C-alpha cells in the first residue's frame, strides 16, 4: 500500500520547506508576528553551550497542582512565530487550559544532524552531507536541557511532550517511539516522514504510554496513514493514543502550523476529547508532486469536538457504496469506475451519504 502512494518532493518545494541548514526558515511566514494581546508568559533565554540556546516560556500564573506540564519545542529559533501563537492563552478557569511551560530549543544550523535519525542519500546529494545524530541530540536533551529546566521550575515529569515541525517533526515522532520514558506525548506537524523511504513506519516496536499526534496538509501531501497501522499493530488505539489530521488545503508553512497548534496542545493537556460537536466529509483530489496528471482520490472524514480539537477518521470510519458503481477502500481511497456512486460514511452513531464522481470527471 505504501508503494502506491510514495511521492518524492520536488527540489524546489523541498528547499522552500525550511529543511536546509543554510536556510532553515520554512517559508516566507518565518516572521509571523505573535497574536495581539498581552502574553501570559515570561520568556527567559539561556545559553547552555555555543550551539544550544533555549527560550523558556514560563506562565505568569501558578498551576493548581503546583507542577506544570511541559512542552519541548524543536526548532525553537526557527518557529518562534508558531510558538508565540500559544503565548496569548489566558489561564482563566473558563478557558479550560491549565498553565504549562514551553521550552524552545535552538536548531543553531544543525537541523540535519540533530533531527534526521537515518541515512538518506537523496538528502546528502541534493541538500547537504550529514551524519545522523538523533541519538546524540536526545542525550543532550536528557543530560543538559531537561535537567537545567526542571531543576529551576516545578515540572510534572509524567506530562512531558516533544513537539516538532517538518524535519524536527520527524524527530519528535522518533523520540516519542524510542524514549517513552522521557516523553509522554509526541506532536509532529507536517513531519518529514518520507526521509529514508519512510523508515519511521518501521520504528514502532513495543507498546508504551506515549501518545502520538501527527498531521499533513493536502497541498504538501505524502501518504502517512501507514504510521497509524504501525502503531495500532502494537496495541496503540486510534482516537485514544494516536491522532492523525489530514488538513484540507494545508501547506508547509509556519502560519498553517500556528493555526492548528491548539490541537496537539489540547490533546496533550486534556487527554482524549469526549463531546463531539460535528462531523464533515471532505472529498480530496490531491495532485501528485512528482507525476503529471496523477491525482490521489480520497475521502477524509473529520470529527470536531466542542473544545476545538479535530482529527481525521482515515482508518476508523466505515465506507459503504449504497448506489452506483465504484469502490472505497478502508482508508478512504475511492474510484467510481468512471461513473458516479453514493457512499455512506459512518463512525459510531453518526452516518452521512456523499455523492462522488472521479476527480477528473
Which residue carries 508503494 as its cell?
A: 3
pLDDT greater than 60 at residue 9: no
State pLDDT tens for residues 49-61: 889 999 999 998 8
Same domain, 7 and 69: yes
Same domain, 17 and 111: yes
pLDDT greater than 70 at residue 219: yes
Write down the pLDDT at residue 7: 33
Domain that holds residue 47: 2-272
Write down the pLDDT at residue 349: 94
Same domain, 6 and 154: yes
Helix extents (H) in 110-253: 111-115, 121-126, 134-140, 146-152, 167-178, 195-198, 226-232
Which CATH number is 193's domain given?
A: 3.40.50.1820
Same domain, 185 and 154: yes
Same domain, 262 and 295: no
pLDDT greater than 90 at residue 147: yes
Same domain, 250 and 312: no
Nearest CA-CA partner of 285 in 299, 295, 271: 295
Count of domains for the chain: 2
State pLDDT tens for residues 26-54: 333 333 334 434 568 999 999 998 899 99
Cell of 180: 517513552
Cβ burial, residue 56 (10 Å; 0-12/13-18/19+)? buried
State pLDDT tens for residues 223-279: 999 999 999 999 999 999 999 999 999 999 999 999 999 999 999 999 888 899 999
Query: Which of the listed residues 226, 254, 272 is the one where a domain comes to its end?
Result: 272
Same domain, 178 and 231: yes
Burial call 304-327: b when 16+ CB within 10 Å, e when fewer? ebebebbbbbbbbbebebeeeebe
State pLDDT tens for residues 54-104: 999 999 888 888 999 999 999 998 888 888 888 877 776 656 678 999 999
Amino acid at each position: 500500500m505504501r508503494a502506491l502512494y510514495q511521492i518524492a518532493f520536488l527540489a524546489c518545494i523541498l528547499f522552500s520547506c525550511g529543511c536546509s541548514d543554510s536556510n532553515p526558515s520554512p517559508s516566507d511566514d518565518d516572521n509571523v508576528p505573535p497574536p495581539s494581546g498581552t502574553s501570559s508568559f515570561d520568556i527567559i533565554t539561556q545559553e547552555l553551550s555555543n550551539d544550544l540556546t533555549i527560550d523558556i516560556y514560563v506562565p505568569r500564573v501558578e498551576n493548581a497542582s503546583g507542577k506544570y506540564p511541559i512542552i519541548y519545542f524543536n526548532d525553537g529559533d526557527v518557529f518562534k512565530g508558531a510558538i508565540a501563537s500559544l503565548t496569548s492563552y489566558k489561564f482563566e478557569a473558563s478557558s479550560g487550559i491549565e498553565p504549562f511551560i514551553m521550552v524552545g530549543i535552538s536548531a543553531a544550523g544543525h537541523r540535519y544532524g540533530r533531527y534526521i535519525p537515518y541515512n538518506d542519500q537523496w538528502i546528502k546529494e541534493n541538500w547537504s552531507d550529514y551524519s545522523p545524530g538523533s541519538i546524540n541530540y536526545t542525550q543532550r536533551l536528557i543530560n543538559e536541557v531537561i535537567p537545567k529546566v526542571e531543576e529551576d521550575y516545578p515540572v510534572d515529569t509524567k506530562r512531558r511532550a516533544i513537539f516538532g515541525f517538518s524535519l524536527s517533526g520527524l524527530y519528535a515522532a522518533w523520540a516519542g517511539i524510542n524514549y517513552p520514558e522521557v516523553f509522554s506525548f509526541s506532536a509532529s506537524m507536517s513531519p518529514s516522514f518520507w526521509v529514508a523511504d519512510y523508515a519511521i513506519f518501521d520504528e514502532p516496536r513495543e507498546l508504551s504510554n506515549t501518545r502520538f499526534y501527527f498531521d499533513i496538509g493536502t497541498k504538501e501531501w505524502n501518504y502517512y496513514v501507514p504510521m497509524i497501522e504501525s502503531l495500532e499493530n502494537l496495541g496503540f488505539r486510534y482516537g485514544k493514543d494516536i491522532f492523525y489530521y489530514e488538513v484540507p488545503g494545508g501547506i508547509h508553512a509556519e502560519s498553517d502550523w500556528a493555526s492548528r497548534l491548539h490541537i496537539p496542545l489540547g490533546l496533550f493537556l486534556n487527554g482524549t476529547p469526549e463531546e463531539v460537536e460535528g462531523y464533515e466529509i471532505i472529498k480530496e483530489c490531491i495532485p501528485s508532486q512528482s507525476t503529471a496528471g496523477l491525482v490521489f482520490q480520497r475521502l477524509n472524514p473529520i470529527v470536531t469536538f466542542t473544545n476545538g480539537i479535530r482529527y481525521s477518521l482515515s482508518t476508523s470510519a466505515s465506507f459503504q457504496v449504497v448506489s452506483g458503481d465504484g469502490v472505497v477502500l478502508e482508508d478512504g481511497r475511492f474510484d467510481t469506475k468512471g461513473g458516479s456512486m453514493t457512499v455512506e460514511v459512518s463512525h459510531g452513531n453518526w452516518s452521512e451519504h456523499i455523492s462522488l464522481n472521479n476527480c477528473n470527471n
